[in-house]
Structures are given as C-alpha cells and as structure tokens.
Amino acid sequence: MKLLEYQAKEVLASLGIAIPPGRVAHTPDEAASACAELGPVAVKAQVPVGGRGKAGGIKLAGTPEEARAAAQQIIGMDIKGFKVPLVYCESALDIGREIYLGFTVDRDARANILMLSARGGMDIEQVAEESPDSIARLYPNPWRGPLDFELSQLVYEAGLGELARPLAALIKKLYRAIPELDAVTAEINPLVITKSGDMVAGDAKLETDENSAWRHKDLEQRYGGGVEGDPYEAEAKKRGLTYVSLDGEVGIIGNGAGLCMSTLDLVQRAGGRAANFCDIGGGAKAEVVENALAVILMNPKVKGVLINVFGGITRGDEVAKGIVTARDRLQMKLPLVVRLSGTREEEGRAILHQNGIEPGANAWEAAQKIVALTRELDTPPALRATSPQGGEAR
Amino acid sequence: MSILLDANTRVIVQGITGREGTFHAEQMQQVGTKVVGGTSPGKGGTTHVGVPVFNTVAEAVKATGANASGIFVPPPFAPDAIMEAAANGIELIVCITEGIPIQDMIRVKDYLRGYPRARLLGPNCPGLITPGAAKIGIIPQRVASRGSVGLVSRSGTLTYEVGSALTAAGMGQSTIVGIGGDPILGLTFKDVIELFEKDPQTTHLVVIGEIGGSDEERAAELLAKGSRLKTVAFISGRTAPEGKRMGHAGAIISGNRGTAKSKEEAFRAAGVAVAETTDDIVGLLRSA
C-alpha cells in the first residue's frame, strides 16, 4: 500500500520522528483556515506518486487567500493519472540543509538497503548516477536491525559526522517501519536540518507490502481507502483482481503474470494496443473470468477482448464453459477471442466455437485475430446492451 | 542425467494434508516421484495419500531419509517451513506458496546463509520436473518430455507454454525449473544455468525472463564468459508500462537495469539468440 504524504508523516510521527505542523484540506476554504492557523504554508497535492513538485502540485502560500487560491488550483488536478483529492497544508520550514534518507528492498542483494546522503533534495537520482559514492549504503541484518556502530559508520561515510548522534537515532526510528509495519520503501527526502538545528521530515514516502496486509489490518483500515486513481483499477481491486489499466483498445485477460505480459507484447506486435493487464491466476474459474470481463467492459475504449489461458492442470472444457457463462451473464457483444490450452483443450475449443467465440490455436494467431476484429469494429450504439446488474455492459 | 532432481530423490511434502498438498502429492506420485512422506503438525502417525505423515520435518527426515521437500503451506507459515527444512538437512527446498511477505523472505534468505547445502527454489514458483523421473511442485506432466533441453523460467504459465511447444516439436527437456516471480528468491537464473552447464545430458538451454530485477542480466554475464549450451532467451513484458513509482530509492539502486531492453541487450551481447515471441523459441533453438 502506498501511503500519501500526510499519512506517511503520521506514521513517522508515531515512530518519534519530527514532522512540520500541518493540516489536511479537502476544500479551498479548509486550506485558507489551515493557513490562518499555521501561518505561511506549503500547499501540497496528496497523490501516491512522485514528481508532484515538478507537475505544479506544490505551491507556497503566505496568506489564507493565497492558500485558498493554491488549493483551488491543485485540488482536482491530474498528476500522472491521479486526480488530486485533497491537499496538505504544512508550515514552511526554515531550511538550513537537506539530507536524503531512505530504505528499500534491494532485490538483487535479497536484502533491505539503507541509504544516506548529504546531498538530499529533488535531484537525488541524478546524484546517484553522477556520484554514487556520495550515497552511503548499509545492509542491516534483517533479524536484529542495524547496530549502533553500523549506523555511526553510515553517517560518517555520508560526510554527516557532525550530526552522528541525532541522525543515527533518527535512522533507528525510521528502521522500525520495517519490522513493525512491513514497509518495503520508506524515504525522507529531504530530511531538513533547520537553521535552528532541528531535524524534521520535509517530505515522506512510505510503501508497505501488500503480501503482509493480513497482519496490519489497522493500517489497512486507517489508510486503505487511498486515492481513487484509475476507476477501473479501483473496481478491479474491490473484486480481488490483479489489474493495471493501459491506454489501448484491446482488453486482455491471462493466467499468470508472465503469460499475461507476453500477451500484451503479442497484441502490440500485431499492431494493436492493450487496454489493460489482467492476471486471473491459476484455475480460471467462471466467477473470476466474469469479474475480469466486467471490469474490462467498464472501459468505453475497449473494442474487443483477448483471453489467453494456459491451463496447466485446469481442464480446458471447464475454462471454456466459464468463459461462455461470463460472456452471457454480462451480455457481452464485443468481439472475443480466446486462446485456450490445457487438458481437454479440444473439447474446450469445441464449446467456444458452438457458442460463437473464436478460439485461437496459438497466442500469436489469437492476438492477430483480435487486433483485426477490433480494427473492423466501429462500435455502433446498437451493440451496447444493459447488464443484469443495471450497469452498462457492451 | 538431469539437474537437482531425479528418480532417486527422496521427497517429503510439507503441508501434505492440506487441499493443495494432497492434490499435488498425488500428482507427484503419478509421475514417479519418490514421495517418502509428509508433514502436518498434529497429524503425525497417520497415513495420507499412501505415505506416512509426521509432525515435524525432523521426524520425517529421521524416519525416511528425505533429502528434498515441496512446501504447500499458506503464506503465514511458509517462511518457517523453509527454515525448518533447511535446519533439518533438506538439500532441495521447493516453495510453491504464493504471497509470502517480502520482509519474511529477507529474513529467511539471511537464515539460509547458515545452511549452504540447502538450495531453495521459489517461493511463488511452479517447482521443477525432470521428465520421466520426478517432479516437485505443480508443473503439469503433459507439457514435459524427456530430452536434452534445459528450461529455466521466472513465470509459471509461460514455462508450461514453452515446455509444451518444445514437447510438440520433439525437443525434450533434461529438467524444467521454475525459479518463481517474487522479488526475493532462492535459486537464480545464474545458479540454475551453472547446474545445466555441468549436466552432460543438457545440450540446449532456454531462459524465460521477465522485466524487473537484474537476474537476467547476471545470467547473460555468465553466458558471455563462454558456454557449451546452445541458448535462446525470451523476455516477457517489453510493452509493460513503468510502474507508478514513488520515491527515488528504487531508482538509486537499480538505475537502468531491469527493463526488457536491458535484458535483451545483455543476452545479445553474450551471443545468445533472443526470441521475439514464445512461438519463435523452437525455431531459434533448432538453428542455434
């Protein structure tokens, strides 16, 4: 789960890390009153994605009127596909210097990596590329966490020796997010040293592991609502699907992430563009196929759907029956091509054919077929039907 | 010959009385795997799918001499199951479980450093099959046939897809190994390729990678040093969009590695043929 800045800061504060005073504002009026209370503020878009400063999602406001105007501009703005639902108004800091502090999972090392640099701020990726040595790194033991001397070494290596004690103490606090919250990425960039010498989190990013949600129900309850970015992704999440929206016109359903990704590649190679990635996992049960189809058909850009199922142990005839049932329940009228393989695949293909669904012998042929069919189609309104649930299906 | 697994490997199934464990233990028996027992705490002393059930791996190893294990337990218990197997001398640990928390796996990987003889395959993998001899995991038998192609893959269903295509083309396999799709894994492409390199039965190699991480790049570096295997690589996800990233930490450590382009270029630089689609693999392997 990707937390918003204000949520991440709440978590940091709960770990004992100082954050600037701030207020959440859902409306321009709320932003104005936050400014009236806090004095000059930064009005910051709350979206679970980086680069919002460069996208115009952060504005400084000296007066309540300025804060109102800034919030007016920012709320509802689109930042990398996310519609900004609210802003966070935060007291401006008296910045002395900016430090980078973060940890993430280094999958090649199969370990967590802690990173610290005296050169914090927006250009840290450039710093990493140009002078990697200016970022000090530590792989803490995952059972006991970083030891005091290791943190001290890290701080001195980063050239921040004069801050050794307070920094090491702060890193220890941040590290608690790993064992206590199953964080996979946490970043304070910049970590601000104010002119009066305080250490305050200027920005915060925190991402927790979806696989561990079962042991952090409190976190899910508190922050799980999240920002509705893409509406289809939100709906897919509700239905328990692994789904990512893309901007093409061919809906894709596949079982297994690798197979699904290679199906996208084939559609592109055939001259089409995928509308989504949707991995329904093993089994390909009728109910799951129906859920996946329902989400894909919500997207008006979709002109046809390609289902690519390689049934390992799953029986092809059962998968075929499931697909037919799902299509009928949703009264789907758009072209549907199914590539089906597995035990009893011939029976499965016969069932598809009897029910007017084009079976593709192999994935490449199926991809070419759906791309050709979606090109022919000019989606006349007559093809639209109403689904039994009352929503619009096509 | 084969790698990692043959008809003499003595296999236990951890979680044998569960739904998945039961089904796949039977499937494993059907292909001839020597399943010597299973574990299920509290059910020790009973018999299930024709083999003895033990409370602990320690009891199972003592009674059966097992040297390999297939793990079919839910995510909250799988990390402990892996460590239990390693601590009791199991040399090949195949963890099928999907959805293990990343931090748990990081701790498991650290623990396994103390057991250098234990090899972990997975988690979140389909396991492995040595056609005509044995399998641990869930790879369907019908996709595989005996032969001399080594197949190693990160994806489950693509492994089946490519295995089927090879089998249909009369190109059998020495061993098919699914290393799994999780960010934190046991055996890597490089580890498995080193084993194939030493296996006299294996003459050809197919590597099925995907975007993310840099295990494929490392495998390519190994192959670039010289290999007797005729190799074809395929990378899925070349059109996948970049994930909506937060923060810079990921970019700082990975730079440009991890993209399909970087992986394909690494293989080409190593003199390995790169397939555009899975359908091209068989043809490229023939002419390799």
The structural domains of chain A, ordered by start, are 21-91 (3.30.1490.20), 95-223 (3.30.470.20), 231-393 (3.40.50.261)
Both B137 and B115 in one domain: the answer is no
pLDDT average, residue stretch B104-126: 96
Determine the 3-state secondary structure of A24 from DSSP.
strand
Is there a contact between A185 and B246 if contact means CB atoms under 8 Å apart? yes
* Rounded average pLDDT over A1-10: 94
In this structure, what CATH number is given to the domain that contains residue B91? 3.40.50.720
Query: Chain A residue closest to B182 (CA)?
Result: A107
B2 in any annotated domain: no
Q: What is the reported pTM?
A: 0.90
CA B170 to chain centre: 23
Q: Please list the alpha-helical segments (H only) found in chain B.
A: 19-30, 57-64, 78-87, 102-112, 156-168, 189-198, 215-224, 249-254, 260-269, 281-287
Is the same domain home to B96 and B153?
no
Q: Is residue B210 part of a domain?
A: yes
Could you give the CA distance from residue B177 to residue B125 in angstroms, rounded to a whole number?
9
In a domain, B3, yes or no: no
Residues B110 and B241 in one domain: no
Question: For A265, which residue in chain B has the nearest alpha carbon?
Answer: B239
| Interface contact B213-A103, CB threshold 8 A | no
Count of domains for chain B: 2
In this prediction, residue A284 carries a pLDDT of 65
CA distance B184 to B120: 11
* Residue B248 annotated as catalytic: yes
Residue B281 Cα, gap to closest chain A Cα (Å): 13
pLDDT at A393 over 50: no
Q: Provide the pLDDT for residue A387.
A: 38
**Closest CA–CA distance from residue B125 to any residue of chain A (Å):** 11
* Contact assignment for B154 to A209 by CB distance below 8 Å: no
pLDDT above 70 coverage of chain B, percent: 94
Instruction: Give a yes or no: residue B241 inside a domain.
Output: yes
Position B4 in a domain: no
- B157 to chain A nearest CA, in Å? 6
Tell me the C-alpha distance between B218 and B154, whole Å: 14
Residue B1 inside a domain? The answer is no
Q: Which of B95, B121, B147 delimits the end of a domain?
A: B121
Q: Per the CB < 8 Å rule, is B213 touching A107? A: yes
Find which of A107-111, B222-226, B246-250 is predicted with most confidence, using mean pLDDT. Answer: B222-226
Q: Do residue B189 and residue B259 come from a single domain?
A: yes
Whether residues B87 and B135 fall in one domain = no
Residues B113 and B131 in one domain: no
A182–chain B Cβ distance below 8 A for any pair: yes
- Ramachandran class of B112: left when φ > 0, alpha when ψ lies in -120 to 50, beta otherwise: alpha
B97 in any annotated domain: yes
Judge if B171 and B255 occupy the same domain: yes
Q: Is B188 left (phi over 0), alpha (psi -120 to 50) or beta?
A: beta
Cα(A125)–Cα(B255) distance, integer angstroms: 9
pLDDT of residue B242 exceeding 70, the answer is no
Q: Please check whether residues B131 and B258 belong to one and the same domain.
A: yes
pLDDT in tens, B46-76: 999 999 999 999 999 999 999 999 999 999 9
pLDDT at B207: 97
Do B138 and B62 share a structural domain? no
Across the interface, whether the CB atoms of B248 and A102 are under 8 A apart is answered yes
Domain limits for position B79: 10-121
Higher pLDDT, B263 or A228: B263
**Which residue from A minimizes the CA distance to B255?**
A129
Q: Which of B121, B141, B160 is the last residue of a domain?
A: B121
Between CA A41 and CA A32 the distance in angstroms is: 10
Residue B5 lies in a domain: no
If pLDDT is split at 50, 70 and 90, which confidence band does A377 have? low
Q: Do B197 and B214 reside in the same domain of the chain?
A: yes
CATH of the domain at B139: 3.40.50.261
Residue that finishes a domain, picked among B68, B101, B121: B121
Give the C-alpha separation, B53 to B44, whole Å: 5
Nearest by CB to residue B251, choosing from A125, A141, A143, is: A125
How far apart, in whole angstroms, are the C-alpha atoms of residue B36 and residue B232?
36
The verdict on B92 and B148 lying in the same domain is no
Q: How far is A386 from chain B (nearest CA, A)?
A: 32
**So what's the pLDDT on residue A376?**
77
Do residues B148 and B254 share a domain? Answer: yes
**Interchain CB distance below 8 Å, B210 and A261:** yes
Element (H, E) at A13: helix A5-14
